[in-house]
Amino acid sequence: MQAAQWFAEGRPNAWVAGELRVGLRQVEKWRQAWRAGGTEALRSKGPHGRPRLDDAQFAVVEAELNRGPAAHGYADDQRWTLGRVAGLINKLFAIDYTVPGVSLLLRRNGWSVQVPGRRAIERDEQAIAAWKREVWPQVEAPRRTWAPGSVSKTRPARGSGRPKDGPGAGVDTGRR
């Protein structure tokens, strides 16, 4: 819209291109559209090149999604993935959507990501808590006390290296 105002003021294309940081050819296209249709001709017409589903088409997709994946041949896994939804849209309307495009489409229409809980129906929380409290401490190895050690598996540590009866034996250095 700023370009339209400058066109009306008679500013040259090169100046407009420099101010708006766009190419000169783009400004020439804008000026040509402005001459043919005025300021309204420069209004955005939305994103181009992407086919979109209208409300009626999305209602059809939504009805098919509500039927479930099994109704569309996905009997092994009862989840809708973005890839499966893209395939469904392609099958219904011959419109290709990318996986991110399907995600945007669903979010715009009030759908959200649902991750199913992967828990067994037979899961007994009280039995699990009792096992952790009573059995696990017996299974778990006790923690080692501090001792000189080595990260080498081939030469484990054998103590400080001082002779037991040498100088400093039995003296507490205060370092721990």
Residue 176 pLDDT level (bands cut at 50, 70, 90) = low
Verdict on whether the full-model pTM lies above 0.95: no
On the question of pLDDT at 146 being above 70, the answer is no
**Chain mean position to CA 135:** 39
CB-based contacts of 31: which residues, under 8 Å, 6+ apart?
3, 7, 13
Average the pLDDT over each of 18-22, 126-130, 168-172 and give the range with the smallest value: 168-172
On the question of pLDDT at 156 being above 70, the answer is no
CA distances from 73 to 7, 67, 90, 96, 163 (A): 58, 11, 15, 20, 77
CA distances from 22 to 26, 36, 156 (A): 7, 21, 69
pLDDT at position 41 is 86
How many residues in total does the chain contain?
176
The mean pLDDT value for 115-131 works out to 81
Task: Express each pLDDT in 16-73 by its tens digit.
Answer: 999 999 999 999 999 999 999 888 888 877 766 666 788 899 999 999 999 988 899 8
The mean pLDDT value for 153-163 works out to 63
